[in-house]
Structure 1
Amino acid sequence: MSDIALPVRVPAGYSLGSLATGAFGTVPGLLLLPYLTDTLGIAAALAGVLVLAPKAWDVLFNPIVGRISDRAGTRRPFLLGGGLTLAVLFAAIFAGPFRSGVPAALYVALAFLATATAFAFFQVPYVAMPAELTDSYTERTRLMTWRVAVLAVAILVSGAVAPVVVNAGGDGIAGHRLMGVFVAVIIVIGVLGVYFGTAGAENRMAGESEPSLRAQLRVAASNKAFRGLLICFVVQAAGIATMLAGVQYFATHVLKDEETGPTVLFACFVGPALLVMPLWKRVGQRSGKLRGYWIASLLFAGGAAVLLAATVVPVVVVYLVTAVIGVGYAGQQVFGLAMLPDCIAYDAARTGRRQAGVFTGLWTAGETLGLAVGPGLYALVLAVFGYVSNTEGSIAQSSSARLGVLLGFTVLPAVLVAGALVLLRGYDLTEERLESVVRA
């Protein structure tokens, strides 16, 4: 298997697409649920359904998008069309004409559904590209290191600054409208960056595809390594999204810092990730991607469990532990996303057929579902523990509701992230195995 290094412009250009995926993956999970419950006054249980239902559509739709991009023979036009549409529709989510009640809830649900559809046309081809930009096992890790570094920047900028923009815009509906435009600009920058940055890059798409979507799905399901990795990543995405959905609630009701708490938490979560990318790359080179994935996941889960003590330790300890969680999150993303193109390359070498889009369609569908299930789970916890929604921003909550805020932010994501690792028992795609399949 060739280890020829890609020109720097290729991983750099490709990584810019993470500005779009990071912004869309972060801000709805961070702000949409509080927007529904504390600005529009939607009950927590219903708000959780509204966050989950539109994205659940992607479970069926993303593999179709993957097949469409496979048959097109090129990925980049989808990046431009889907990405620019995504930016416009994202701003529209928070620009509705209704201020509360059922009309407001329906508008957000429909706008979110349209936005998730546009995102599929950007994300599925984008995630498929690493398997076709290089046939090198180690270069795929390098690509993902670049991508996750930019992803960390996107999360930091969109996740930490978006709440500040809401406050600067006067909170409430006006502040959220301004925030929607701000995030849309970030998405546009990322879309244009990856589209022009990957122009002229070599395309290693295989020359033939399975005759039907059902046949492609059957082949993907028969790939044991891919199947285990996918389910693990989906469950972990739900755990991560559960924590993400709880940031505003945790800062307000546990840290008692509604204004600056969410921003500081995000800075502590993402900032260290930018510094540890070289470390995770070395871990992968020395110990392998699978072991690195285990280490990173357990670091995340352990840190989340420690935060259960947030009510009795100094706030500086909470922020330091959050930084440890961020280090684990960075490793999860690097290794999980680097193992995905290995699964695709294994399938291409084994079958000689072009179906990276369907693999990434399944992957992004699962990830999207996980990111949607997380806020839904957190909303369910809030409802069970008696959280009270309102239209006037945050109000004093009962001790039971505050306990629900804490458990949903700590114990639940820890259990999901650590427990999912058992699904990787069947993963066996080492560099040596991939080389043997390619040679055969």
Structure 2
Amino acid sequence: MGWQSRTRTLQVFDTELSADTVEWCPLPQWSHVLACGTYQLQKGDDKQTAEDSAPSRIGRLYLFDCNPQPSFIPPLTETQRIDTPAVLDLKWCHVPISERPLLGMATASGEIQLYKLMESQQGTCVLECELSTKLGPDRLALSLDWSTGRGESSDVRVVCSDSSGSLTALSLGEASLTAVCQWKAHDFEAWISAFSYWDTQIVYSGGDDCKLKGWDLRMGPSSPSFTSKRHTMGVCSIHSNPHREHILATGSYDENLLLWDGRNMKQPLSETAVGGGVWRLKWHPSQEHLLLAACMHNDFHILHCQKAMEGQDAPCPVLASYILHNSLAYGADWSRLPLSNSTPPSPQEPPQTSVGLTESGGHLRIQYESPTGSFDTSLEDDSGRYIPDQCSLPEKSSIPDPFTSPARDSQSLSCLMATCSFYDHMMHVWRWDWSPEEQQKPSEPAPSS
């Protein structure tokens, strides 16, 4: 049985400043919350002195509430914007801290800032700066990761990387974020740092020196536990699989995605050419074989990694591509927000009925069809204006993993995503549907005369 893959744009938001990171809150009660960070380099006036005309890096942190009900109402509502130093990375802690979600932010001022999610008097969610710590002078904080990827709440720590090539391990206390150790890890920028979610004493890092390294915090950071030169350009993305022990994904400016078994870092399990620098990698929140990649010059892709994870030494096939951004593909994340078939109307609202193309006066336009067989559609009115998608949404909670068994080929999968691109300062919210094609019944033989 064949499968149909379809992406659908739900909303496009102009972030005004260059957008480079998006993160959905992973906690079930707050999974409707989305954060987006921006980075803008401002050059000084040529008439000013050299010191005064030094470029400054400004940013903005956006917070959104998402309600992806099948209606003409755009799913995102902006609830807050905070002007900050330029934002290089955002990551939510995977467990609540003091019963609240906590968002970590890496900034161009060399700080790691932590924001607590609170309810405002208006009933919406807002962020309040809780803690911050400076990594050191004359450096940009480039990435961060939490040790809580598998939902473990004891000994919560943060690891971050910076433009001096250093890594810093931080411990979160009741009212403090304290550096446990800091060490020089790479010759140039340390683009990325990440925990092994299965053994949080293990940290991985990637740098502009083209090296991927591992560090055992129990042994001290004086020397790495391994150094790999398998990537041929700067290593800029790393993500430990929270569902499968030992599985690690890495990406590089060399346009290759590598899958690793952490027990043998001499040779990757597989190598996949994705046609653009791999800036961010995100494993699916529940489907262990699905990997989302932000590929800079070559858009966003969803890859299926089952065969590679089973040691079959095969590239990871691309199941779907989202190519509607017009600039560098930087930020990407899966939402954990359940997608329901319908949303009951409130008592004040009349019941909503499904609107067909003819009834709405809309025109279905296929925006692209990718080599992976996926395509994006949008609904337009007679003036060519975009109308949000109107299709019903399958229940996500009832969907088992459709990839591991042929017996599950009758199942479908629907996911909500957020992605952002740099120079066009755009954030897109879209959904991906993967479903089996309807098998046509064999035609009945004509009656004999």
Q: TM-score, normalised by structure 1?
A: 0.27
* TM, length-normalised to structure 2: 0.27
More helix by share: 1
Bigger Rg over Cα:
2
Q: Which protein has greater RCO, CA pairs closer than 8 Å, 6+ apart? A: 1
